[in-house]
Amino acid sequence: MINRIFSDQKRFTLLFFVILFVDIWVKLYCPIFPYRFISKPFVILVLFAFYYVNKRGKGLKQHLWVFLGLTFFLLGDLLIIKAADIVFLGLSLLLFSLGKIFFCLKFSHKKDFNVLRLVPFSIIMFSYAVFIISIVLNGLKKFLVPALLSFFLSLLMVQFAYLRKGVFNKISYRYVFLGVITFIISESIMAVKTFRQDLPFQDFLIMMLYGTAMYFIVLGIVRERRYKISFS
């Protein structure tokens, strides 16, 4: 029964978004302890299960970066529940940063890429980064270096996802790229909320976009197929 749910994309999608909406509801309407510590881990845990069921048998080396990335995001999720505490916020930034590094390693490949193709995209992402940083800069204070590093790693993750184009199949590329773009939007809202000011529907948007981002990233990795290189 479990395998049938996790091996069927439609059933898994329904299960995942039910779990995500339950977690959002708990965040909005229930006390943090113990309810949020129960609901939040399941968002990542079901992605673990989905990935494992669909990619098992491929060897540990094939899975290592994904497992490590999801593990550190799961730990970061638990700590950021207490984001009002400066220590927990700092540790969560560290864990999320490590998770991003492992996803960057997963998205990286050895195939040469056209540098000119990357330039316009890099300019757009750099401009976006400057815009967000300019908004939250005055509120960062002690978190200036950790926050800038975390945001830099997010941009790096987006670039690595972008460079998968032409190396992996289109459906995998589109899911992963959509996932990392959605992730950086969620992170941007979280940064403005934490270091600048409250925004309308911020808690719902952060969690909805974050969960959707992780769903698309993992789904894209599961659907990943490398194009064969022709030497003719």
Q: What is the pLDDT of residues 50-98, one digit of tens each?
A: 999 998 766 666 689 999 999 999 999 999 999 889 999 999 999 999 9
* Whether residue 146 has pLDDT greater than 70: yes
Asked if 179 contacts 221 with a C-beta cutoff of 8 angstroms, the reply is no
Q: What is the pLDDT of residues 98-111, one digit of tens each?
A: 999 999 999 988 77
Task: Give the amino acid at 188.
Answer: S
* Whether residue 149 has pLDDT greater than 80: yes
* Whether residue 231 has pLDDT greater than 50: no
pLDDT band at 230 (very low <50, low <70, confident <90, very high): very low
* Whether residue 232 has pLDDT greater than 50: no
**Is the torsion defined by CA of 123, 124, 129, 131 positive or negative?**
positive
d(CA 222, CA 219): 5
d(CA 46, CA 31): 23
Residue ranges of the domains in the chain?
2-222
